[in-house]
Amino acid sequence: MASTPIETVSTGADKARLAAAALLVVGALAAFYLLRSQGAVAQWGGLIAGLVLAVVVFFTSDSGKRLIAFGRDSGREIKKVVWPTRKETLQTTAFVFAFAVVMALFLWLTDKTLEWALYDLILGWRR
C-alpha cells in the first residue's frame, strides 16, 4: 500500500501570517470590550473591522489559499451532483414514513406479545 506524503512544511512568513490573524481576532475582541464607553457603533465597528482584517490576513496564508481551493473544488463537485426529481423525493420520503410505521407496529406487537408471555403466562400476574 503506497502512502502519500503529508506536507506539513510551512514557511516562517506563513506562520507569521497565521499568528497575525490570531492576534487580529484577539485585538478585535479586545476592541469590542474596550470601546464600550464610545458607543455601540464604535464598539461593533472595531469588532467587525478587526475580524475582517483577520480574515484577509488568513486568506493570504498558505492555509487560507488551500481553504479557498477546497471551496472551489467543492463547488465544482456540487455542480456534478444529479439531484433527484420531485417525484423521486416524494416516493423515497413515503417509503421512509411507511417503513417507520411498519417498524413501530412490529415493535409494539413484539412488546405486547412479550408482556403477555411474561406477565400472564409465566408469572401469572393477571390484571
Q: How confident is the model at residue 48, as a pLDDT?
A: 96
For the chain, the distance separating the N- and C-terminal CA atoms, rounded to the nearest angstrom, is: 66
Q: Are residues 88 and 55 in the same domain?
A: no
Is the predicted pLDDT of residue 84 greater than 70, yes or no? yes
pLDDT at 47: 95
Query: In terms of residue numbers, what domain contains 52?
Result: 12-81
The one-letter code for the residue type at 31 is: A
Domain boundary among 81, 102, 119: 81
Cα–Cα distances (Å) from 122 to 10, 18, 107, 115, 126, in that order, read: 71, 70, 21, 10, 11
Mean pLDDT within 36-41? 92
For residues 111-126, average pLDDT: 86
pLDDT on residue 3? 64
Is a pLDDT exceeding 70 seen at residue 112? yes
Same domain, 44 and 17: yes
* Torsion angles phi and psi, residue 121, rounded to 5: -80, -55
